[in-house]
Amino acid sequence: MTADEVVARLRSGMTIGIGGWGSRRKPMTLVRALLRSEITDLTVISCGGPDVGLLAAAGRIRRLVAAFVTLDSLPLEPHFRAARESGALALTELDEAMFLWGLHAAANRLPFLPARAGLGSDVMRAVPGLRTVRSPYDDGEEFVAVPALRMDAALVHVNRADRLGNGQYLGPDPYFDDLFCRAADTAYVSCEQCVATAALTEDAAPQTLLIQRQYVTGVVEAPNGAHFTSCAPDYARDEAFQRLYATTPWPAFAGRFLAGGEGAYRDAVRAWHEEEK
């Protein structure tokens, strides 16, 4: 598929999960395609980075479900911060372990999973809808009933995939990308390179193949598709461009870098780097 074909299957009001972690291996080509559409009023589930910042600045997010929103080398995502401080979006902020168990619950088609994470913390106050559940066994211990993080669609980016939907990460961490795919009704995987299925198992450990075709709806070949976030080992984060993004008012950034298609974005980034030399 193309990125625009993926976005054509999405609708306003959906719950969209976005893989990656902070400013690492985010499906930025798909996010930019989403920004070029008129889709809005989204619930976004993400270990947030610039994906959240871009969508928040553009006014596309109604509610965010996240454990954090960071640019990693820049601790706080500034466009998310501005949207949150202005009250432009609602936030369900979960402990990271609760976020993980919410994905597991959705992936296994369960309404919730019990967790100790969150007990004794302000998470229980900050998220009024959370409930506790008591063990039915002799100990009677109380747990947080972490609700399933079910999604209409998930967007993730990996290093390699085949046309059938098997995805492979080659960096140090799978993040939660496989769980996002399993927790969603539809899942779209962008990749640096689309390869033959046999090539996925050459000189690679089996645990790098966590994304399986039965959970994937479509594949988009998108070289450099995580820019400006990192996609190890293919490329590092574009720190100079990330600083530009973080310090540029949204209308100016959007006007220069998001006005056209993906080709226009890449041309504009290259032109900016030439200006900075």
Q: So what's the pLDDT on residue 206? A: 82
Q: What is the mean pLDDT for each group of 10 consecutive residues in the chain (277 residues)?
A: 98 98 98 97 98 98 98 96 97 95 98 94 91 90 96 98 96 96 98 95 85 98 98 98 97 95 96 94
Do 171 and 232 lie in one domain? The reply is yes
Tally Cβ neighbours within 10 Å of residue 152.
17
Question: Does residue 143 have a cis peptide bond before it, meaning omega lies within 30 degrees of 0?
Answer: no
pTM score > 0.85 for this model? yes
Structural domain for 69, as ranges? 3-93+149-239
Query: Contact, 79 vs 89, CB < 8 A?
Result: no
Q: pLDDT by residue (tens digit) across 172-196?
A: 999 999 999 999 999 999 999 999 9
Q: Please identify which residue in the block is written with the tokens 């030439």.
A: 274
Q: Which of 230, 256, 222 is nearest to 1 (CA)?
A: 222
Do 9 and 74 lie in one domain? The reply is yes
**CATH code of 22's domain:** 3.40.1080.10
Q: Please identify which residue in the block is written with the tokens 């008129």.
A: 38
Structure tokens at 97: 């372990």
- Is 249 within the bounds of a domain? no
Structure tokens at 28: 């930025």
Q: Please identify which residue in the block is written with the tokens 């993926």.
A: 6
Do 88 and 201 lie in one domain? The reply is yes
Do 71 and 137 lie in one domain? The reply is no
- Is 262 within the bounds of a domain? no
State how many domains the chain has.
2
Q: So what's the pLDDT on residue 128? A: 87
Q: So what's the pLDDT on residue 139? A: 83
Concatenated DSSP letters of 100-124: HHHHHHHHTT-SEEEESTTTTSTHH
Do 22 and 58 lie in one domain? The reply is yes
Please report, as a single letter, which amino acid is at residue 120. Answer: G
